[in-house]
Structure 1
Amino acid sequence: MKRNLFLAFVLVWGLLLSVGALAQGEAFAPIRNAIRGSSSQELAEYFAPTVELSFDGDKQSYSATQAEFVMKDFFAKNTPASFDFIHYGGSNEGTPYAVGKYAGKNSAYRMFVKMKSVGGAQKIGTIDFSKE
C-alpha cells in the first residue's frame, strides 16, 4: 500500500513538473518564432524598455528601439539556418529564462534569453549570444 502511494505521488509530481516546463516553453514560443524568422521587429515587441545585448562577452544596454536595430543588423549578418530553445528554467526569484542553439550560415551560437517583469508582464531583459 505504501509503495502504491509513493508511486502515485512520484507520478503526480512528474506530471506537475512537465506541465510547468511546457508552460514556460509556450511563453517563449513567439520569441522563438521571431528569431527563426529573423524578424527584429517581431522580437522587439517582447523587449523591456531597456535590453542588455551581449555578443561573445561584449555587453551593452540599449533602449528597446536601439536593440531592435542591433538585432536587425545581427540577423542580416547571421541569418538563422536553424534555431530552437533547448532548456527552460527560472531563477530563485521566479525570473524565467531559456537557452537555445542558434545556427547561422557562418557560425553557431549558444543563446541565452532572460525575461524581467515590467508592469506585471514578462519582457526580454537580456539576450546573450556566445559562439560555440
Structure 2
Amino acid sequence: MKRTFFLTFVLLCGLLLSVGALAQGEAFGPVRSAIRNSSSRELAQFFAPNVELSFDGDKQSYSATQAEFVMKDFFAKHSPASFDFIHYGGSNDGTPYAVGKYTGKDGAYRMFVKMKQADGGPKIATIDFTKE
C-alpha cells in the first residue's frame, strides 16, 4: 500500500513538473519564432515598456522602441544560422526565463531571456547575449 502511494505520488509530481515546463515553453514559442526569423519588429511585440539588453556584459536599459532598433542592428550584424531554447525555468516568485543557444555568422552565443508581468501578460524584461 505504501509503495503504491509512493509511486502514485512520484508520477503525479513528475506530471505536474512537465506540465509547468510545457506552459513556460509555450510562453516563449512566439519569441523563439521571432528570433529565428531575425525579426526585431516581431520580437518587440513581446517587450515590456523597459527592456534591459546585454551584449557580453555591456548592459543597458532601453524603451521598447529603442530596444527594437538595437535588436534590429544586432540581427543585421549577427544574423542567426540557428536558434533554440534549451532550458526553461521560473524564479521563486514565478518569473519565467529561458536559456537558449543562438548561432550567428560570427559565432555562438548563450542567450538568456527573462519575462515579467506587464500590460496584462508576460513581457520580455531582459535579453542577455554572451559569446561562447
- TM-score, normalised via structure 2 length: 0.98
Partner of 2:30: 30
Q: Distance in 1 between matches of 2:75 and 2:96?
A: 24
SS in 2 for 1:19: helix
SS in 2 for 1:6: helix
The answer for unaligned runs of 5 or more in structure 1 is none
SS in 2 for 1:94: coil
Partner of 1:103: 103
Counting only pairs closer than 5 Å after superposition, residues 107-118 of structure 1 correspond to structure 2 as 107-118=107-118
Give the share of equivalent positions with the same residue, in percent: 80
Partner of 1:130: 130
Residue type matched to 1:87 in 2? H
Counting only pairs closer than 5 Å after superposition, residues 19-98 of structure 1 correspond to structure 2 as 19-98=19-98
Q: Distance in 2 between matches of 1:28 and 1:22?
A: 10
Q: Distance in 2 between matches of 1:119 and 1:76?
A: 29
Residue type matched to 2:80 in 1? P
The alignment covers a number of residue pairs equal to 132
**Pairwise CA distance, 1:4:** 1.1
Deviations 1:73-111 (A, max 9, x none): 000110101100011111111111000000001110000
Name the Cα RMSD after superposition.
0.7
* Higher alpha-carbon deviation: 111-120 or 37-46: 111-120
Partner of 2:3: 3
Residue type matched to 1:72 in 2? K
SS in 1 for 2:35: helix
Q: Distance in 2 between matches of 1:23 and 1:5?
A: 27
